[in-house]
Copies of this chain bind each other. A is one copy, B any other.
């Protein structure tokens, strides 16, 4: 009953096999190898256009370096109040960018609302007393398990782009968003106004496969140099490339994400039907938020299950846990089993 995080799973057999295949002979270091070049071409095919692909070690690295490449002194980044970049990265973007400020906007179940972006652009004009907004950052799937569809994204990016901002996407769970929306990677990104993204493979079946994918290289400043200076340029880059090759082969990544999402939906269905627990809010990707009796949380843990408690203020006032209740996050992955889900639900 492992529902703590999708990063508690290991790598898929396909990823392991690809690593084995890549481990043959010598190859130039720092991404100058044939496999890395081949994988870059795969990304281009996936996104139906030329892209730049820069491997990094972690999603935090991708987010902070990508945003730093957009940074200016006095720069502001608009994001949701639940955005991982502002809640979990210990000031990584602030640090890499030399002090940009993240402006946390309201969200509904993790999703930014167009009017709030418009209002923020009014409140934070370019070169105003607060500084200058330089980027809007979205996350898809969001940190709260919900997803943006292409039209949602376009509605958010249009006013931002009109005001001169670049658009960044945190895609730590991008595969889950693609599956949940049924939209193409292109429609979920550059065709809807996204300039660069953090493309995450780690949570969805790899060991450590993260990349910054750039759609608008002329908006970036010194991204390669920033990555080098940050100690994020793997010498044996083919070990990342191999993971991504297996990831993108045969639609593997979507198959894995589809499984994770399906397990999450099974959780949601069980919770909707429960009379002891309830969904915190509806989600569509592989994260489920539920209000459970504290006794159930204790019982799950006693049975060896893992899950994370979640701050109650992610729920609107009025829907927050009552005494004896706890808001929890349940995350499924490529490795979650229907059995595990069943066991958990049987305890509710």
Contacts and interface: CB of A to CB of B under 8 A. Distances in A.
Contacts of A239: 11, 207-208
A232 B58 contact: yes
A2 B29 CA distance: 12
Interface string A94-107: 11101111100000
A15 to B, nearest CB: 9
B29 A8 contact: yes
A79 to B, nearest CB: 12
Interface string A77-92: 0000000001111111
What is the count of identical protomers in the complex?
Answer: 4
A208 B238 CA distance: 11
Contacts of A86: 101
A301 interface: no
Nearest to A28: B8
Contacts of A58: 57, 231-235
Interface stretch (A146-154, A221-229, A284-292): A221-229
A64 interface: yes
B208 A131 contact: no
Contacts of A57: 56-58, 61, 208, 231-232, 234
Nearest to A172: B235
A91 to B, nearest CB: 4
Contact of A24 (B10, B92, B96, B236): B10
A250 interface: no
Interface string A15-49: 01001101111111100000000000000000000
For A127, A132, A207, A233, the residue with the greatest tally of chain B CB atoms inside 10 Å of its CB is: A207
A92 B229 contact: yes
Contacts of A294: none
A89 B236 contact: no
A5 to B, nearest CB: 6
Interface string A195-238: 00000001100011000000000000110011011111111101
A88 B27 CA distance: 20
Interface residues of A, number: 78
A16 B10 contact: no
Interface in A45-65: 56-65
B229 A74 contact: yes
Contacts of A164: none
Contact of A91 (B89, B221, B229, B306): B229
A102 B75 CA distance: 14
A46 to B, nearest CB: 23
Nearest to A68: B73
B98 A335 contact: no
Contacts of A129: 87-88
A26 B2 contact: yes
B229 A90 contact: yes
Given A90-B131, A208-B208, A229-B92, A10 B28 contact: no
Closest 7 CB pairs of A and B: A61-B231, A95-B99, A57-B57, A74-B90, A94-B99, A60-B231, A7-B235
Given A62-B231, A202-B235, 6 more contacts: A7-B236, A65-B231, A73-B95, A94-B94, A95-B99, A207-B236
